[in-house]
Structure 1
């Protein structure tokens, strides 16, 4: 017997990517109240039918966009608490200054109004907290940070500093600030660690 082939053309991953990128950008710019399949279709340069073939409604569309662009923060162990914290700060900065940064910031304000929005935001926050605390505890265990180091205050200073840096950046300067994010992460971490490190 010959196996039946699925009806229709296979989905194009490039089109999926274009649509979810457009969805993140539209949501970041317009917010949930003005987010629509029509707006995303125009932004992505596709027909609405292409979107509805993939997602049944705008809730599912935005959920897919958030799932692919709010992947979370990874724990990185380089052996140096300073380098680990720099990697953490860079991930946070690129999340908020990248192409989906507007969507992430919107989500922080509107999560409770969006289906599954709180779930996506909580998942991102848990990953950030877990990675950050693991980095600091390793630093303390290795003697790179003093035993009296406040994990909460250290991480609030670095993660909060990275978030504030993104929040106060005007739209016209976002590309320039994003290009300098890696260096800013180093400067931020070095500034914070100067007040808490013993012998690194």
Structure 2
């Protein structure tokens, strides 16, 4: 579901669009779907409610547009090595759950299925993310960087789950530092994981 076309003769203001999208994600993160209202979003964005209805006919359309265009996406990045690819994946996960819209991302995972129109977009996005992550591991196996017996599912569950839990469990006073150094923690996480996956059996790793 996309934003409604702008009224003829009244071009869209990108700055207003960004403010509204940010406000929508903040309201959804703070209050969930039960507390999500056009009036609340308009007040937080500092615009009139009519400005929202000129762009989106329903609050479902507004939230869908904000989620699709405002949340960081998890995508496949081919750096040429499994280490580089996994670091990019972990960095994206940390950015999603340690960044400014982490609460909205978590709410989405919990509530998407109950929100008309949003659930379908979330499922499509989730499938796209899974395909991207699995492609990374399969490339590593094909290049001989990972053993052929490596479990794609277990490796990705450990990596993405570890990144997500680290972001969510970081104390509030350390969240900003993590958000500013997602790549650093991602490298440490990938180093640890790849050592465990590639260490010879019986090495005591």
Asked if these proteins are the same fold (TM beyond 0.5), I'd say yes
Equivalent pair of 2:33/2:115 in contact (CA under 8 Å): yes
Change (3 A) 1:48 1:186: same
Equivalent pair of 1:111/1:121 in contact (CA under 8 Å): yes
1:137 aligns with 2:165: no
Separation of aligned partners in 1, 2:22 and 2:9: 24
TM-score by length of 2: 0.88
Gaps of 5+ in 1: 1-5
Equivalent pair of 1:66/1:120 in contact (CA under 8 Å): no
Matches within 5 A, 1:111-122: 111-122=112-123
TM-score by length of 1: 0.90
Q: Deviations over 1:5-60 (max 9, x none)?
A: x7442111111111011101110111111111111111111111111111112111
Farther off after superposition, 86-95 or 64-73: 64-73
Runs of 4+ deviating beyond 3 Å: 170-173
Equivalent pair of 1:23/1:62 in contact (CA under 8 Å): yes
Equivalent pair of 1:70/1:120 in contact (CA under 8 Å): no
Farther off after superposition, 14-23 or 65-74: 65-74
Gaps of 5+ in 2: 1-6, 201-205
Note the aligned Cα RMSD (angstroms): 1.7
Q: Deviations over 1:79-131 (max 9, x none)?
A: 11000000011111112222222111001111122122222221222122111
Q: Secondary structure at the match of 1:56?
A: coil
1:158 aligns with 2:152: no
Separation of aligned partners in 1, 2:190 and 2:184: 10
Equivalent pair of 1:19/1:41 in contact (CA under 8 Å): yes
Q: Secondary structure at the match of 2:198?
A: coil
1:127 aligns with 2:128: yes
Q: What is the match of residue 57 of structure 2?
A: 56
Q: What is the match of residue 15 of structure 2?
A: 14
Separation of aligned partners in 2, 1:70 and 1:7: 29
Pairwise CA distance, 1:180: 2.2
Farther off after superposition, 6-15 or 45-54: 6-15
